[in-house]
Each structure stands twice: as structure tokens, then as C-alpha cells.
Amino acid sequence: MAQPRPVPEPRSLGAKSYILTAYRSGQILAAKHIDREIAPASIAKLMVSYIVFDEIRRGRLSPRTEITVSKKAWRMDGSQMFLEVGDQVSVDQLLHGLITMSGNDAAVQLAQYIGGTTHTFVVYMNRYAKRLDLAHSHFANVTGLPAPGEYVSAADMAHLYTALLRRFPGLYHRYFDQRSFTYNGIKQYNRNSLLWSDPRVDGGVTGHDETAGYHLAASARIDHMRVISIVFGARSSRARKHECGALINYAFRYYRSATMWPAGRTIKTMRIWKGAADRLPVIARGAVNVAYPRGQRAALVYEARLPERLIAPVHKGERLGRLRVLYDERVLNSVPLYAGATVKPGNFVSRMRDDVHLLLGA
């Protein structure tokens, strides 16, 4: 068995907060002040993107849908895709304007079309935040422009980014990794400059607030390992790129990712008493993934915490305990365990037989 060896801590970064997570397992690989509430700036458009993608997935919206540009969208300050009042623009174009160009006008136009008003759409944003358990996030507008009572946290945005990528992979790859987009004769470049310097990076969003600083959320992948890197409050656009990239480099240098059990695979078989069957498969809900120190897979230890005795009936999907994956006595991942089948009560004879065994201390 490989001997456990410590993974060095990542070097200290100047950003106010940051988080590095393994996408498939959700493990936190590096962190600093991950629940600190900070002005989101254009990172708020990550939630706008999530809601628009959800509307498309539910069939209530199509990328081909044509929308007439409103005066409110046209008048927006800050970053723009340069919409003109009365123009017919497709949802597809607006999504490029929102994500590639970080256009405030695109955010407003999409919000007005879906919510009727931007105010109603902000209500949707906060409902989605609650549904996704984003405990340290609250939105006040659709653009991320400075507003009282508006904040997000690095941990929440990593969770939102993961949820968006997991739920809408096709739409994510269609819109998030575009380096440039041209609308109205104006070509603009994605503010996530890691797309040019690091071929592992396939998407992200940026933000800047005069008080909060420079933000960058990005995702990168090598083979079967993907990570989410979030940096909030860096000193400059160059610093946010450098620090977000440093976290990504740290992840791929010191960690690897593996599926320990595919979805539906039996993890353990339990003895079940007084049932129509005497063995019960125990499974996880979905695949069991883990990010582990590079070269140390053989040093991983698995621990299933389950009831000492299990009495029928047990229904498929019933929660039974937890599986922990440990490295050098440190828990890397922990997932609930469930019954993989239904076991009904046995007949009278089998129940009496098992009663005897249990009385004798089986």
C-alpha cells in the first residue's frame, strides 16, 4: 500500500476570498473566507445565465426566440453588447452578449422578457438562490451594478457554477467558452483571459466593483478531473487571472480524480433479518467520486457506517448510513448510503428462525 504523504497547502493569495473545488465530488481543495459576503459585480450574471438556461431546458424559451430591444435595455450603463432600441435580437445572441461580453443591456433584456420586469426577475433570482441553498447570497438587480443589500460568497458561487454545469452541460459549452462575439458590427472579447492562456479552462465569468475589487470564476478540466476556481476581491484584472490560474495549477499538480463506485453499483451487502431475503445491497445515490492526492489512490481507506442490525421491511431508497473516504485519517468525501432493493417481511417460519438467531446473539 502507498504510504500517505501530506499535500502542501497552496501559497497564500492576495484575494479577499477564494475557493477551489473538485467538480465531481464537491470537495474543497483550497479556501479562504469562503462565506464572506461581497458585492458580486458581474458575477451576478451567473445566476441570470442559470435561470435563462432553465427556461430553455423547460421548453419555455428557445435560443431562436426573437425579442424586440427595449429602451431600458438600450439605456444601460457599464459593459454592453450595444443593443439598439427596436432591434430584433435572438435569445442566442443575448446569451452571447450576457456571457461573452458581460453585457448589462443583454441581462436587462433577457430579464424583462422572462420576468416581465427586471424587478420580478430579481425575485426569481433570489428564489433560485434559496432553492439552491445559497445562504450567503442576495441579489438586488440583474447586472451586479452596486446596490444596497446585494452580496454573494465564494462558496455560494462555486455551488452555483457547479449546479449550472451539471444541469446544463450542453448550454454551458455552447456559451461559456467563447473567446469573442460580434454584434452590431462590434467585436468584443471575453474578459476571462484564462481562455487564451490556459487550454484547460473552458469557461468562466468576471466582475469588478470599485470597493470589492476584481472577481473571476472559472472552470478547468484535464481528462476526468474538473475543478471550479473562484477568486473574489483581487487587486487588479491581472491579479485575478494570476490567482485563479494558480489555484487551477495547484489542483492539477497535487490531485487526481476517480470514480470509486459507478452509479448503482453495490458498495456493501448487509445481512437483513426477518425478511423475504437475507442480504441487502447498499448503494449511493449516484456515482461515488473522490479527488485524492496524486499517486496515493492505494492509500485511500473506505468506511461504511451502517446499522449493526437491520430488520425487514426495508424499502429501496431508504437511507441507511454514510460512506466515508479517508486519506491519512482525513475525510476526503462523505456520502449517504441507501438500500438498493426492497426487502419485504419473510414468512412466519423464517421470521421465527431469525428471532431465535437474534436471541442467541447473532
Q: Which pLDDT tens digit goes with each residue over 125-136?
A: 999 999 999 999
- Residues 139 and 287 occupy one common structural domain: no
Report the 10 Å Cβ neighbour count for 256: 19
- 2 domain residue, yes or no: no
Least confident of 3-7, 89-93, 279-283, 358-362: 358-362
CATH of the domain at 126: 3.40.710.10
The stretches of the chain forming alpha helices (DSSP H) are 45-57, 71-74, 91-99, 104-115, 118-131, 154-167, 169-175, 194-197, 237-254, 348-359
Last residue of a domain, one of 203, 232, 257: 257
Picking from 204, 216, 215, the residue whose alpha carbon sits closest to that of residue 179 is 204
Least confident of 18-22, 88-92, 111-115, 306-310: 306-310
The predicted structure's pLDDT at residue 8: 86
Are 257 and 290 in contact by the 8 Å Cβ rule? The answer is yes
Picking from 203, 340, 226, the residue whose alpha carbon sits closest to that of residue 277 is 340
Side-chain half-sphere CA neighbours of 328 within 13 A: 9
- Residues 76 and 184 occupy one common structural domain: yes
- Residues 179 and 278 occupy one common structural domain: no
Are 299 and 265 in contact by the 8 Å Cβ rule? The answer is no
Last residue of a domain, one of 228, 257, 286: 257
**213/12: higher pLDDT:** 213
- 10 domain residue, yes or no: no
The predicted structure's pLDDT at residue 348: 76
Average pLDDT across the chain, whole number: 94
For residue 61, name the pLDDT band (cuts at 50, 70, 90): very high
- 113 domain residue, yes or no: yes
- Residues 183 and 289 occupy one common structural domain: no
- Residues 73 and 189 occupy one common structural domain: yes
> What count of residues does the chain have?
362
**149/7: higher pLDDT:** 149
| Res 323 pLDDT > 90 | yes
- 9 domain residue, yes or no: no
- Residues 189 and 270 occupy one common structural domain: no
- Residues 248 and 280 occupy one common structural domain: no
Please provide the DSSP assignment of 136-177 as one string.
T-B-SSSS--S-TT-BB-HHHHHHHHHHHHHH-HHHHHHHTT
- Residues 79 and 167 occupy one common structural domain: yes
Choosing from 16, 45, 241, 274, the catalytic residue is 45
Whole-structure pTM value: 0.93
| Catalytic residue flag (residue 102) | yes
- Residues 24 and 91 occupy one common structural domain: yes
Choosing from 102, 153, 193, 229, the catalytic residue is 102
- 91 domain residue, yes or no: yes
Q: Whole-angstrom Cα distance, residue 94 to residue 88?
A: 11
- pLDDT tens-digit readout, 146-202: 999 999 999 999 999 999 999 999 999 999 999 999 999 999 999 999 999 999 999
- 30 domain residue, yes or no: yes
The predicted structure's pLDDT at residue 1: 52
- Residues 148 and 65 occupy one common structural domain: yes
For residue 354, name the pLDDT band (cuts at 50, 70, 90): low
| Res 253 pLDDT > 80 | yes
Least confident of 54-58, 88-92, 306-310, 345-349: 345-349
Total domains, the chain: 2
What distances in angstroms separate CA 299 from CA 2, 8, 43, 267, one per listed residue? 5, 17, 39, 18
- 11 domain residue, yes or no: no
The predicted structure's pLDDT at residue 346: 76
The predicted structure's pLDDT at residue 291: 97
- Residues 299 and 250 occupy one common structural domain: no
| Catalytic residue flag (residue 42) | yes
Q: Are strands 28-32 and 319-327 parallel, antiparallel or unpaired?
A: unpaired
| Res 19 pLDDT > 60 | yes
- Residues 185 and 296 occupy one common structural domain: no
- 106 domain residue, yes or no: yes
CATH of the domain at 343: 2.60.410.10
Q: Whole-angstrom Cα distance, residue 57 to residue 37?
A: 30
The predicted structure's pLDDT at residue 35: 98
| Catalytic residue flag (residue 344) | no
C-alpha cell, 317: 431508497
Q: What SS3 class is residue 106? A: helix
Mean pLDDT, residues 39-67 taken together:
97
The predicted structure's pLDDT at residue 7: 84
For residue 80, name the pLDDT band (cuts at 50, 70, 90): very high
- Name every residue whose Cβ is closer than 8 Å to that of residue 284 and which is 6 or more positions away in sequence: 261, 263, 267, 323, 335, 336, 337, 338
Choosing from 42, 49, 193, 229, the catalytic residue is 42
Mean pLDDT, residues 228-254 taken together:
97
Mean pLDDT, residues 302-310 taken together:
93
3-state SS string for 28-50:
EEEEECCCCCECCHHHHHHHHHH
- The domain of 234 spans 17-257
| Res 238 pLDDT > 80 | yes
3-state SS string for 250-289:
HHHHHEEEEEEECCCCCCEEEECECECCCEEEEECCCCEE
For residue 362, name the pLDDT band (cuts at 50, 70, 90): low
**243/1: higher pLDDT:** 243
